[in-house]
Structure 1
């Protein structure tokens, strides 16, 4: 398949803004890693009018996809984990063009998983975990067990991803196989949730008790990035926090996370008078 694609990537390699080109070939009969194509051609550019461009090709009984992505968008995916396929591609790819060792340096950085990126990803995963956990608990308390179950499964996935990131690995590949080695207790909890013959309300009740401890034990480490940013100012309004470049990655989960940390007395809320009698602005402080 690479031979068939060679004219396509040679044309791209001749362009000055192309930083690197990688080829990922299908290694199984049914391969979700390549979106069920026979090959993925990933072209990384320094800049482009569009941050992502995709083209599909066919040749006899084969099919391939060309993905052209800017360096900025690729790094955003790597930092935030918003395109998990990219992690599989970077692990499995063959480098066919590399301008000034750009790809070699990128892959080294990817495998080393820089400390800053790790702390930010932990914070984002923890925020998502708290959102799912609290929503699930609310559904459980209201007797909506199936909805509670759905949120709990998602919260365990975020807890699992957090455990993998803590150990310096990217959690995008075979997550539960990684967790089985890294955190057997969490793996057992997940296994019991989905395989137990207990009634769903009993399973959820036990899981909430166990999750409370697992979440509590990880809180300080998981919010280190958030606290470091908040320490840069005396107080923050929610608007200031959400518009901050670093905290904007937490998105809609930031409000819930801040209130959770207030409840756990890790940060405090400060009331500032408004013009309305008895109405206060709510600010946050480490």
Structure 2
């Protein structure tokens, strides 16, 4: 396989902008990791006209894909977790080319998982967790049990990823195998939700009772990144927070996260007068 693809990746490797080339081969008959292709090539470059460019090839009844990705896009995927297979590719793919030990250093960084990066990722997962959990609770109260189930499964996935990150590891695609070892309590919640013999309504009712305390107890850990940014000044308008280069990653989850943290007395509302009578701007500060 590598010999057949060599002319393709060597052409890329010879370009001065190319930082690394990795090969990922199909492991099973069903292989979402490679989009069911027999092999995937990941080419990392310094800069490009497009952050991601993909080509498909066919040879000897086999299929291959080549994904050309800028370093900036790759770093964003790793930071935000928006392409979850990318860490698996970096950790487990076969290195075909590595300019100036770019990949060696990147993989070392992944193993070290710097605390500042970990703190941000925990905050993002916690924001997603709160949104999914409260949406699930809303559906449950409306007796829409299938929708509630869907949202609470997603909420538990975010809680599982948060636990893995808090323990200094990148969440893998098989995150529940990690959680079983790291935080059995969260794994038990998930197992009882998906594998209990109880009626769905009863399963959800028990899960909300059991997980309420667990999710609320994670508030200080989950909010640590957001609160550290808010220490930069006394009061923040919501738009100011959204414009912050790190807080912007929270996107649509920021509003619901702030309201949750107000309920937990970690953030407080400071009213600012407007020209309208009895109408105030809301600003936010860390609770004293």
Asked if these proteins are the same fold (TM beyond 0.5), I'd say yes
State the TM-score bracket (shorter-chain normalisation).
over 0.9
SS in 1 for 2:50: coil
Give 1:217's aligned residue.
217
Give 2:277's aligned residue.
277
Give 2:227's aligned residue.
227
Question: Does the CA contact (< 8 Å) of 2:85 and 2:173 recur in 1?
Answer: no
Give TM-score, length-normalised by structure 2: 0.97
Deviates more, 1:73-82 or 1:152-161: 152-161
| Cα distance in 2, alignment partners of residues 147 and 28 from structure 1 | 32
Is 1:252 aligned with 2:252? yes
Give 1:71's aligned residue.
71
SS in 1 for 2:23: strand
1:132 and 1:53, CA in 2 relative to 1: closer, same or farther beyond 3 A?
same
Query: 4+ runs of 1 displaced by more than 6 Å?
Result: none
Q: Which runs of 5+ in 2 are unaligned?
A: none
Offset at residue 25 of structure 1 (A)? 1.4
| Cα distance in 2, alignment partners of residues 118 and 43 from structure 1 | 26
Give 2:61's aligned residue.
61
Is 1:29 aligned with 2:25? no
Offset at residue 199 of structure 1 (A)? 2.0
Offset at residue 177 of structure 1 (A)? 0.8
Offset at residue 219 of structure 1 (A)? 1.3
Give the length in aligned residue pairs.
286
Render the CA deviation track for 1:189-225: whole Å, top value 9, x for unaligned.
1111112122222211111111111112211112111
| Cα distance in 2, alignment partners of residues 75 and 99 from structure 1 | 17
Render the CA deviation track for 1:67-102: whole Å, top value 9, x for unaligned.
000000000000000001212211211111111111
Offset at residue 27 of structure 1 (A)? 2.3
| Cα distance in 2, alignment partners of residues 147 and 93 from structure 1 | 37
| Cα distance in 2, alignment partners of residues 146 and 277 from structure 1 | 45
| Cα distance in 1, alignment partners of residues 84 and 65 from structure 2 | 17
Give TM-score, length-normalised by structure 1: 0.98
Q: Which runs of 5+ in 1 are unaligned?
A: none
Question: Does the CA contact (< 8 Å) of 1:87 and 1:173 recur in 2?
Answer: no
